Amino acid sequence: MARYRNPCHKPHDGSYGPASYETDVKPTEYKGFKIYHVHNMRFDCVIEEPDGLVCKMQMAGINGAHRYIDNFWAKQNAA
């Protein structure tokens, strides 16, 4: 089972989701990320950070997840 942090979580506002997500889904690896297809229309883009696994973005399809990750690395490399 994978557990990863939700960086949008706010302890006093449940509309931002739980503090962490858990799933038994086997991830797809893509450019250093793990992509978890956790729901029919939800793909979690997760990366390892010094304090553990973090969900950086939730996308509605695998192509959107790939696009997000490509843009993430393009911004990191542009600095």
Note the pLDDT tens digit of each residue in 33-43: 999 999 999 99
- Residue 31: per-residue pLDDT: 98
- Residue 8: per-residue pLDDT: 92
Question: 34-39 long-range CB contacts below 8 Å, 24 or more apart?
Answer: 34/2, 35/62, 35/65, 35/69, 36/2, 37/62
Say what the pTM is.
0.91
Quote the CA–CA distance of 78 and 20 in Å, as a whole number. Answer: 30
How far is CA 25 from each of CA 15, 30, 35, 37, 70, rounded to the nearest angstrom?
24, 15, 10, 7, 22
DSSP 17: -
pLDDT at residue 79 greater than cutoff 80? no
- Residue 14: per-residue pLDDT: 82
